[in-house]
Amino acid sequence: MNYSYIKVEHSGLIGTIRFDHYIKRNALSEPLIEEMEDALLEFGQQDIRVVVLRSDSKQQVWSSGHDVLELPKSERDPLPASDPVMRLMQVVRAFRAPVIAMVDGTVWGASTDLIMSCDMAIGDHDSTFAITPAKLGLPYTASGILHFMSRMPLHVVKEMFLTAEPIGADRAVQVGILNHLVAASELESKTYEIAKTIALRSPQANSAFKAQAQVLADSASLNPLVFEYLQSLRRDVFLGSDYREGISAFLEKRQPQFTQAKK
Amino acid sequence: MNYSYIKVEHSGLIGTIRFDHYIKRNALSEPLIEEMEDALLEFGQQDIRVVVLRSDSKQQVWSSGHDVLELPKSERDPLPASDPVMRLMQVVRAFRAPVIAMVDGTVWGASTDLIMSCDMAIGDHDSTFAITPAKLGLPYTASGILHFMSRMPLHVVKEMFLTAEPIGADRAVQVGILNHLVAASELESKTYEIAKTIALRSPQANSAFKAQAQVLADSASLNPLVFEYLQSLRRDVFLGSDYREGISAFLEKRQPQFTQAKK
Amino acid sequence: MNYSYIKVEHSGLIGTIRFDHYIKRNALSEPLIEEMEDALLEFGQQDIRVVVLRSDSKQQVWSSGHDVLELPKSERDPLPASDPVMRLMQVVRAFRAPVIAMVDGTVWGASTDLIMSCDMAIGDHDSTFAITPAKLGLPYTASGILHFMSRMPLHVVKEMFLTAEPIGADRAVQVGILNHLVAASELESKTYEIAKTIALRSPQANSAFKAQAQVLADSASLNPLVFEYLQSLRRDVFLGSDYREGISAFLEKRQPQFTQAKK
Amino acid sequence: MNYSYIKVEHSGLIGTIRFDHYIKRNALSEPLIEEMEDALLEFGQQDIRVVVLRSDSKQQVWSSGHDVLELPKSERDPLPASDPVMRLMQVVRAFRAPVIAMVDGTVWGASTDLIMSCDMAIGDHDSTFAITPAKLGLPYTASGILHFMSRMPLHVVKEMFLTAEPIGADRAVQVGILNHLVAASELESKTYEIAKTIALRSPQANSAFKAQAQVLADSASLNPLVFEYLQSLRRDVFLGSDYREGISAFLEKRQPQFTQAKK
Amino acid sequence: MNYSYIKVEHSGLIGTIRFDHYIKRNALSEPLIEEMEDALLEFGQQDIRVVVLRSDSKQQVWSSGHDVLELPKSERDPLPASDPVMRLMQVVRAFRAPVIAMVDGTVWGASTDLIMSCDMAIGDHDSTFAITPAKLGLPYTASGILHFMSRMPLHVVKEMFLTAEPIGADRAVQVGILNHLVAASELESKTYEIAKTIALRSPQANSAFKAQAQVLADSASLNPLVFEYLQSLRRDVFLGSDYREGISAFLEKRQPQFTQAKK
Amino acid sequence: MNYSYIKVEHSGLIGTIRFDHYIKRNALSEPLIEEMEDALLEFGQQDIRVVVLRSDSKQQVWSSGHDVLELPKSERDPLPASDPVMRLMQVVRAFRAPVIAMVDGTVWGASTDLIMSCDMAIGDHDSTFAITPAKLGLPYTASGILHFMSRMPLHVVKEMFLTAEPIGADRAVQVGILNHLVAASELESKTYEIAKTIALRSPQANSAFKAQAQVLADSASLNPLVFEYLQSLRRDVFLGSDYREGISAFLEKRQPQFTQAKK
Ligand code: NI
Ligand code: NI
Ligand code: NI
């Protein structure tokens, strides 16, 4: 298969996907996502025991998140379950073999959620992680928030969402985003050393384990009334002034001026 | 509004509540709680984007927890949902904007649970955190225990409850109680710097996020039979000898002599 | 009572169980487990406020996990709820008083899960923790995976299961396996100091707390369809080639050759 | 208080609300709903032990359901939690005393859901019950579907929703919609006889019971992923062609021409 | 074993327990319950495939429910999980073989809940069923309410609790309380015919089925906050005026005068 | 497509599947199931708004359930999620349009569960329904038991499973298995009249409704420990003597001799 936004390799029992669209800072645009889905589909038919997800070359930005141009300007839920980014999380989470993120730059927005949807993450000292819907006035999904809550203390999850500020590499390893923090020069060798270890283990047991852990991590129980209430809160936001302002300001490259949440 | 137990300020988009009842070590007494509820109600009607909760001045104790004089001596559930302290947790958790605890002294009992009900906590090196029902023979609530479990490894939660010993500031940041640990001289500036960042973000998105995270964090699912069993365990404790002894010993300022849990 | 695989002591309000079967590396064999159950039953009838679980003497291995000779060679679920090891976890978790693991060597497989089923763990610098079903091609239980998830960031849980590699003592304290890491020479004094503190606290309140925390930590909600799906994944593994190969390789002391998990 | 769409009476310990807007077939329009909310608020402050909800006079239609003119033509979720009809269900369900529906005509759409949100229903032989979103191409809410599922066999719930045809009085009592079916001439006396019995019972116990039953009936547990999937299905419907066609056809008083649900 | 309050028989594979304390109208007093527990324990060790629960002779009252003299006069939760009646439900529900109630008279209060905890019920035309906490001002348990909700339409459950009036035999079979309604002269033969059929079936499969159905029927999911709220509602009732008045009136054989539930 | 075990028709917006393998009493054998899956797949690509499932001609038996020859003789879980019969339930339940069972004969075992997995059922007076695992010593699945519990009072569900006796048509309509009971001569016209009504309704709304109702009906929440316990009970049965005896007796066409469930 031919890829334009990513590079795909298969060596031994290890598959590698490299983001290769730095002109858009490796944003999770719909075409890039479709290629990732194709690559994982292809890997699924091969004897791949583990996948490494990385940027093609070390740059300032590892991946810039959701392509804001693809978001609705207003009035529509910007993150329905059918959104390509939401779908990508599910594809990565449902992939039968583990996926390791190898991070050597800044990670933004939905790309940070993608890190949470990988099974492990290894980073160097330039890796940072920010989740930025509060900058856009965008109401995030409950399932996405839960990805963070299963990995970090709640106080830290709240700090990340409420401030929208990046977490640096040192703190990322301390709070549980990164499994390992290594020097840039050793990032690749450390990552593939772990990948090789995983490739020696039982792929059948690992596949069942991954499915079980995923189900358990997703299992927060809400009743319909509660969920419909949360959805109405989200709806107030995406129909409201902050979301319109947040998207406009982003596109106009200026600071947004947000207003008070009523009531 | 006039306050006697707290001080209340509103500057820019930031509200501040200062405990101001050091004669009782800023205990969470019913009148102090009522003032906090009033202050949050007032803030709710103003354009407040974030609240800082602090002590009026740096002292040895930041807040000493439940006012033990207000607890029933025995025979009654000391922590019904209608207890002012339980109600305060809910009010803080339900407040539409984030609440940051700025901690510069020791925190005891229910005040530590209050920290868990805030959205973030920043502390200096004198901050410590203890949860002390095991000293009183008091059966804590499941919802309160859950506040700790969403923020810390279970082994640490158990250590805190089972030993009732304080966790120091260094460990507090490591286990996820504190978001940041800074020098005393920088505590205020660091706290307000974070508050200012939050105030720039979309209050509508942050408000929906906070509600979602709260619901998810509270969502442990139990069936009625299980819950009624847990309540009967709690009932055996508050009707039992340890609770009577724990309260007496506290009021008589002596060490309690606890006895074996039957069964 | 007479014990052959463990040593049992009762001093003050503290009970101690020492693994004493180093010839089998303190493996969790059925006879050792039965003795542990007897010891806990006996403790349950005495005025014991806290239990220390330790190895009789500091050795390289603290406990080597499930006795692989007791596992079915294939075709049967190797970890039914009635398996002695599963039963032991429940007995430890249901024991009315806290159980502290004092760890001074390497911990393997189900013994690491046992650590997760204790209430606290204190270790020295030689303590390491590995969970190894991926080496055996063995499908672990959902309840067991949940023991890890309530204590550690999900990324770390996945690393432990997917790589089956040991976590060293320093990292163990950082991720929440160990409550405290101390020098070998101070391990015993630190452990018993904490045990003595717990023994001073209300056993009635601690007992109710432990039951509540246990129920909350076990409360991940799945519906029957989801669970039957997970069980069918596990079944594919224990009826499959990896499990047969994993057990054979272990018994023949060679590296297993695992094959691709079929889609 | 003055009411234009309903009549409100308080006699002894029994409150009565009569629909009085037959020109719109007692549709659940926003102004009628607001008056019902006011009436229940007023009742809440009086010593009312039970409420009867009825039509002011026996007519062909008891209540015609959601005022279709108030539904969005398309593109928006027609049943957010903040919709007046959804809010009315909650107000009735949360009202501290029981609400008995006294039904003597046909009941349509959301008014049938309102019957499910009352605590009991007594009808005469002219009472019929239909739930009609399938005629409008309108995606109903999960919480609303659950109201029916707690009262009727699932096969019957599905028949009602899938066919959108009315259930007659005889069948309504058999499947559990009606508590009692009586002759038209005895409907009032039977209803008030039951109301008087309830008024003799402990209002405190009945109030706690109603709250418990409500919570239990609403307690179907879904995780966020599942709910977001269901919401995306609903979204496909309200953004799709059937909803537009259903609303248009209704307003143009013609049969809708629906098209195939894609995949 | 000798029994004073019940008679116990074992014939073929069928065990029979007969209430034999008509002087107290077969009330579920603590000594009667203890004998029932002993009988079931005994049956559990014999090859019993099904149990019939009946009154020793046909009388007006089959069983009169909780012995009101054993209820606390006020101030205490009258239905903790450790209450003998609550315990009896659990013992019946946990008994490995099915229990069939054979009912030939009126059933009151907790005895109706006991019918819901049996696996089947066969009645004659004199059987009636009432659940009467609303007459006593007694707050029932959530688990008990759930027993009814799994068997009947919610509207009927509410009618039974809110009115505290008996349901006659014809309606009992229609709403699902009775499996079969037969003439008094055929009640015994019909009941034992069904018992004999069950005794022919696989006791191993039936035992696993019963456990599964029990767990599923009990599985309403609540989070701790919700349950603590429900418990606080119950507490307001048992600490309140209605409960005191209800118990007094019952003991004084007069009509209770209940007062308005505050707020 | 060519079918050997079923007949498939598509007329207007209605699809029909006819069992056509009376030589095996329309048993749910693997080849018949595969054809049904093919037919539903085909229907899924056509503009089918509703499916009727019927027997090709009125016979004594409508469908005889699981093909017992396909069950493992012993030692293996006879009903894993991957079993064709289990899969068929899921396919019917997940089919985007409603499926109506038109029943004119006796229905046995898994075919009765299939009726529960259809959306509606219409029958004539010869229709009967039995669920027979207790005759085989076969431990049924929790998800299957739940299919019955969402449609019938729990006492009736238990009677069906515990006695394994058929429920006749009159009772089937009363307890909620049948939506309508009509004379044999009118069965077809009544069924297709309802199908035509459904075909007029919004397929998009009906499809979303069906998915929601399915999810809600499947949503009983269990935690992993509870499920693993239930699975171990099931395992004791399929590894035990009753299952071996039940299957043998069935194949040898004799009465099984079951033994006491141990413990
Ligand atoms: Ni998008
Ligand atoms: Ni208090
Ligand atoms: Ni074993």
Judge whether E225 lies within some domain.
no
Distance CA A146, CA A89 (A): 13
Number of structural domains (chain E) is 1
pLDDT digits (tens, 9 = 90+) for E119-168: 999 999 999 999 999 999 999 999 999 999 999 999 999 999 999 999 99
Taking CA atoms, what residue in B is nearest to C45?
A: B263
Residue C190 lies in a domain: no
D30 in contact with A, Cβ within 8 Å: no
Cβ contact, residue pair F223, C227, below 8 Å: no
Q: Is E198 part of a structural domain of the chain?
A: no
ipTM: 0.93
Is the pLDDT score of A263 beyond 80? Answer: no
pLDDT of residue C261: 56
Nearest-angstrom CA–CA distance, D130 and D160 = 7
Q: Spell A216-253 as b/e; 16+ CB within 10 A means b.
A: bbbbbbbbbbbbbbbbbbbbbbbbbbbbbbbbbbbeee
Distance from CA of B170 to the nearest CA of A (A): 13
Q: What is the pLDDT of residues D33-42, one digit of tens each?
A: 999 999 999 9
Judge whether residue F50 has pLDDT over 90: yes
CA of B66 to the centre of ligand 2 (A): 7
Residue B73's pLDDT band (boundaries 50, 70, 90)?
A: confident
- Site of tokens 């309604």: E181
**For chains A and D, what is the number of CB pairs under 8 angstroms?**
75
> Residue F126 — pLDDT band, cuts 50, 70, 90?
very high
| Neighbour count for residue D183 (Cβ, 10 Å) | 9
Which of 160-219 (D) contact B at CB < 8 A? 216
Does some domain include residue A257?
no
CB contact under 8 A, A159 and B194: yes
pLDDT band with cut points at 50, 70 and 90 for residue E261: low
Of the candidates B82, B146, B225, the beta carbon closest to that of E224 is on B146
E150 in helix, strand or coil?
A: coil
Closest listed ligand to the CA of A84: 1
B109 or C260: which leads in pLDDT: B109
Residue B214 lies in a domain: no
Segment holding E191, helix H or strand E: helix E184-200
D127-130, Cβ contacts within 8 angstroms, sequence gap of 24 or more: D127/D62, D127/D103, D127/D169, D127/D172, D127/D178, D127/D181, D128/D166, D128/D167, D128/D168, D128/D169, D128/D172, D129/D160, D129/D166, D129/D167, D129/D172, D129/D177, D130/D106, D130/D160, D130/D164, D130/D165, D130/D166, D130/D167
Q: C243 alpha carbon to ligand 3 midpoint, in Å?
A: 14
Q: How many residues does chain D have?
A: 263
- How would residue C259 be classed by pLDDT, with cut points 50, 70 and 90? confident
For residue B75, how far is its CA from the centre of ligand 2 (angstroms)? 14
Ligand nearest to the CA of C110: 3
Residue in D159, D174, D177, D234 to test binding to F, most F beta-carbons within 10 Å:
D159
- pLDDT tier at B261 (50, 70, 90 boundaries)? low
C198 to B153: CB separation less than 8 angstroms, yes or no: no
Cα(A118)–Cα(A124) distance, rounded to whole angstroms?
Answer: 17
Least confident of B56-70, B249-263, D85-99, E54-68: B249-263
Kind and range of the H or E run holding A173: helix A169-175
DSSP F14: E
- Mean pLDDT, residues D74-83 taken together: 86
What is the pairing mode between strands B61-63 and B50-55? unpaired
F80 at interface of E, judged by CB pairs closer than 8 A:
no
Percent of the residues in chain E that have a pLDDT greater than 90, as a whole number: 87
Spatial separation of the C-alpha atoms in residues C107 and C64, rounded to whole Å: 6
For a pLDDT cut of 90, what percent of chain C falls above it? 87
* C109 part of a folded domain: yes
pLDDT at position D259: 87
**What CA–CA distance (Å, rounded) separates C214 from D89?**
37
Whether B84 is in a domain gets the answer yes
pLDDT digits (tens, 9 = 90+) for F66-87: 988 888 876 789 999 889 999 9
| pLDDT class of E73 with cuts at 50, 70, 90 | confident
Question: Given pLDDT bands bounded at 50, 70 and 90, which one contains residue E262?
Answer: low
CB within 8 Å: B80 and E235: yes
DSSP-derived pairing of the beta strands F180-181 and E14-19: unpaired
Give the residues across from A28 on adjacent strands: A66
Residue D207 pLDDT > 90: yes
The answer to whether A66 and A110 are in contact (CB under 8 A) is yes
Q: What is the pLDDT of residue C225?
A: 87
Mean pLDDT of B60-89: 90
> How many A from CA of B43 to the centre of ligand 2?
25
F223 at B interface, C-beta within 8 A: yes
The string of DSSP codes covering A68-109 is GGGS-SSSS-SS-TTSHHHHHHHHHHH-SS-EEEEE-SEEET
Average pLDDT over residues B49-58: 97
Contacts of B229 in chain E (CB under 8 A): 81
Please give the pLDDT value at position E105: 98
Q: What is the CATH number of the domain that holds D57?
A: 3.90.226.10
Residue E255, burial from CB neighbour count under 10 angstroms (0-12, 13-18, 19+): exposed
**CB contact, 8 Å: A221 with chain E?**
yes
- Residues D168-196: tens digit of each pLDDT: 999 999 999 999 999 999 999 999 999 99
Q: Are strands A106-108 and A128-130 parallel, antiparallel or unpaired?
A: parallel
B216 pLDDT above the threshold of 60: yes
**Is B143 near chain E, with CB under 8 Å?**
yes
C93, HSE (Cβ side, Cα atoms, 13 Å) = 24
Cα C119 to averaged position of ligand 3 atoms, centre (Å) = 23
Report the alpha-carbon distance of residue F14 to residue D160 in Å, rounded: 19
D206 and E161 within 8 Å at the Cβ level: the answer is yes
Cα–Cα distance, A20 to A56 (Å, whole number): 6
Domain that holds residue C34: 1-184+201-263
SS3 percent helix, strand, coil of chain A, rounded to 5, is 50, 15, 35
Q: Which residues pair with D51 in a beta bridge?
A: D15, D99
Given a contact cutoff of 8 angstroms between Cβ atoms, the answer to whether E45 and E82 are in contact is no
User: Looking at chain A, which subunits does it touch, using at least 3 CB pairs closer than 8 Å as the criterion?
Assistant: B, C, D, E, F
CB A239 within 8 A of CB D157: no
Cβ-defined contact of A228 to D146 (cutoff 8 Å)? no
Per residue in F131-165, pLDDT (tens digit) is: 999 999 999 999 999 999 999 999 999 999 999 99
Q: Determine whether the interchain pair D136/F211 forms a contact, defined as Cβ–Cβ distance below 8 Å.
A: no
> How far, in Å, from the CA of E155 to the mean position of ligand 2?
38
User: Span D90-109, mean pLDDT?
Assistant: 97
Q: How many Å lie between the centroid of ligand 1 and the Cα of residue D83?
A: 27
**pLDDT tens readout for residues F179-193:** 999 999 999 999 999
**Residue B164 pLDDT exceeds 60:** yes
Q: Is B261 part of any domain?
A: no
Q: What is the pLDDT of residues E235-252, one digit of tens each?
A: 999 999 999 999 999 999
Residue B262 confidence (pLDDT) above 80: no
| Element containing residue E16 per DSSP (H, E) | strand E14-19
Mutate to test the interface with B, among A135, A141, A155 (most CBs of B within 10 A): A155
Does B168 have pLDDT greater than 70? yes
Distance from CA of B257 to the nearest CA of A (A): 36
Return d(Cα E152, Cα E217) in angstroms, integer. Answer: 12
* E221 Cα: distance to centroid of ligand 2 (angstroms): 28
Which structure tokens are listed for D1? 């208080």
Token code pair at residue A61 = 């930005």
Q: Is there a contact between D36 and D55 (Cβ–Cβ < 8 Å)?
A: no
Tens-digit pLDDT profile for residues F235-249: 999 999 999 999 999
Taking contacts as CB-CB distances below 8 angstroms, the residues of chain A near C221 are: 219, 221
| Locus of tokens 């547990």 | D221
Chain B residues closer than 8 Å to F223 by CB? 221
Specify whether the backbone of C176 is left (phi greater than 0), alpha (psi in -120 to 50) or beta: left
Question: Burial code of C60-76, b = ≥16 C-beta within 10 A, e = fewer?
Answer: ebbbbbbbbeebeebeb
Contacts of A77 in chain D (CB under 8 A): 235
